[in-house]
A and B are shown apart, each in its own frame.
Chain A
């Protein structure tokens, strides 16, 4: 126990631990809504579609973390809004629309990045690369936590403030519309919250792995409860715990002379939690179902008088 406590208190590791914990909680919370609405892969699309926004923000002179993140958020949100438009007008199936916007925006981002690297040779273009692939999480500094708090805090507040509306929107959007709620605007707002969570995570865990942070905590939590409130809280807890556990794990393993990247370790941790939940959750879990089936069969056989 003591080595673990030492690690937790390690001032070099503290910013990383804080960042992954906050990020895990944030993405777990918004992920719960995404999974319930069958839009789990929103995160994947946003993280790819953020690239042209980052490039544009950089081009327009944005150098600070927050400006680049806002650029990422705007283009990620735009991609999802376009997906919504395509689906609403019945011009493309939902999944194909997501894939189409993901690929087009990402292509545009790469084109713009190519231009940037020529326009500003050797400058901070490397830092832009971080948005693609995630930094070594071990290099997170206390200052990097500012955007997490500045943007993640309000995102969570929106989630709380519009709790009732988002709940209704997630489970019965038609009913919400019939009650007079501005469904489309609420949808765009909830999308914006997802987008903020995703772009905040990009620089810590990278594009591909961010999708896991949205989906896995929620998929895990979903096995333990049927109520939205506990679902969101549990997903946030699991997300934060996996973030911390994954960081510690990668740090511990790294000490033996090999660098173990933090992002993938976090993803595998949270995936393991999700698989364990699928297997062992008390009512829905696979084990519980097998036991139930077994008991049922025995009772049936007893009644039927078989040996």
Chain B
């Protein structure tokens, strides 16, 4: 692993970890697209503050970016509260407008300040190794963006731990939280500030669009694997770490854009989890359905036999060779069902005649309560 790759991996890793925690809350609170909107309007805040301060290195640029994220949330809610547009349309109205203002101001006033669209929109993890070192008490501790994101990640994890109860309650039952005296609105805006702050910090390294991948994908992956909030948090962190490491490796192997590759890796990780997740995964669901279909067929067989038991029609209705006609099944399927029913001790077969065992009779009665006998 080269020096550049190691530095890039560290940066992407801390970015992914810092995003993984608020991402869970965004997903659970149905705010995923607000995260997307915030990513887009950061430019508005940066441009606005640059317009006011005239200094591209001013810390106010960061403050402006964070505030613009919170402003977006506030405007969306203001529009929603008029009840004239719904949430999705409100988001769709607000962020393109703010983005447009940002682009307009940028292109009209600072044409000499070269805003590199590529860099702004795609981030530049590749240059992680050339970032200046941050120092703590005169001791260099790491690249500046990496240290900033690591600190932010710690802050996010710390906030999630300290306010776990509040977050859980306001996320799953805001009304109850309000009646109990918690302040859902305060938690909401606190969370939105954290998301904006995280997005701003990640902006530099991965760009505003791929931040969405870092926020949403690990959380969705974790959500497939658990229904418990603290487990989802931990799994989200784990998914973020795995995605970051594999993604950066792949990016350097294929010599391509790092942030994009990490986003794709996180997406693939989510896709694989979709397939193999033990309970909610597609394969598990398919297997469940297959199992249910097989048990259901056995149940239908026992009900059919029970219904005709001790009637004049029994020899015909319960004959193995006639079952496919009576039940309208494929002859091949009949063989399998009968074999499994025999193995499970529900029916016995003598020659062509099938008979229920006492167990099979009970099974049929349980499934179809009002059978005679």
Contact = CB atoms under 8 A, between A and B. Distances in A.
Contacts of A164: none
Contacts of B96: 208-209, 211-212, 215-216, 267, 271
B254 A115 contact: yes
A98 interface: yes
Contacts of B251: 111
Chief secondary structure at chain B's binding surface? helix
B266 interface: yes
Secondary structure at the A interface, as helix, strand, loop or mixed, is: helix
B89 A215 contact: yes
Contacts of B79: 278
B93 A219 contact: yes
Given A99-B35, A106-B210, A114 B100 contact: no
Nearest to B99: A208
Contact of A95 (B32, B111, B267, B285): B32
B128 to A, nearest CB: 17
Interface stretch (B50-58, B101-109, B176-184): B101-109
A99 B216 contact: yes
B368 to A, nearest CB: 28
Contact of B267 (A104, A129, A133, A223): A104
Interface in A254-276: 258-261, 263-265, 267-268, 271, 274
Contact of B266 (A86, A104, A106): A104
B19 to A, nearest CB: 11
Interface string B162-179: 000000000000000000
Contacts of A89: 282, 285
A104 B217 contact: yes
A100 B93 contact: no
Interface stretch (A36-44, A66-74, A140-148, A227-235): A36-44
Given A96-B32, A115-B256, A214-B92, A104 B85 contact: no
A223 B88 CA distance: 16
A102 B35 CA distance: 12
Contact of A209 (B84, B86, B100, B263): B100
A118 B255 contact: yes
A111 B254 CA distance: 9
B210 A107 contact: yes
B213 A264 contact: no
Contact of B104 (A86, A264, A278): A264
A91 B280 CA distance: 7
A97 B216 CA distance: 9
Given A40-B89, A118-B255, A209-B96, A111 B260 contact: yes
B257 interface: yes
A108 interface: yes
B97 interface: yes
A284 interface: yes
Nearest to B266: A104
Interface residues of B, number: 63
Interface string A178-209: 00000000000000000000000000000011
> How large, as a class, is the contact surface on chain A?
35 or more
A108 B265 CA distance: 9
B261 A111 contact: yes
B82 A104 contact: no
Contacts of A218: 89
Nearest to B207: A110
A211 B264 CA distance: 23
Interface string B117-142: 11001100000000000000000000
A92 interface: yes
B171 to A, nearest CB: 13
A104 B93 contact: no
B337 interface: no
B210 A99 contact: no
A251 interface: no
A89 B88 CA distance: 22
B235 interface: no
A103 B212 contact: yes
B260 A40 contact: no
Interface in A129-164: 129, 132-133
B97 A208 contact: no
A131 B72 CA distance: 26
14 contacts: A41-B33, A48-B209, A97-B220, A99-B33, A100-B32, A100-B216, A103-B217, A106-B263, A108-B263, A211-B92, A261-B104, A261-B107, A278-B84, A286-B84
Interface of A: 35, 38-41, 43-44, 48, 86, 89, 91-93, 95-100, 102-104, 106-111, 113-115, 118, 129, 132-133, 208-209, 211-212, 214-216, 218-219, 222-223, 258-261, 263-265, 267-268, 271, 274, 278, 284-286
Q: Nearest 8 CB-CB pairs, A to B? A: A107-B263, A104-B267, A110-B260, A215-B92, A103-B213, A212-B96, A264-B100, A99-B32
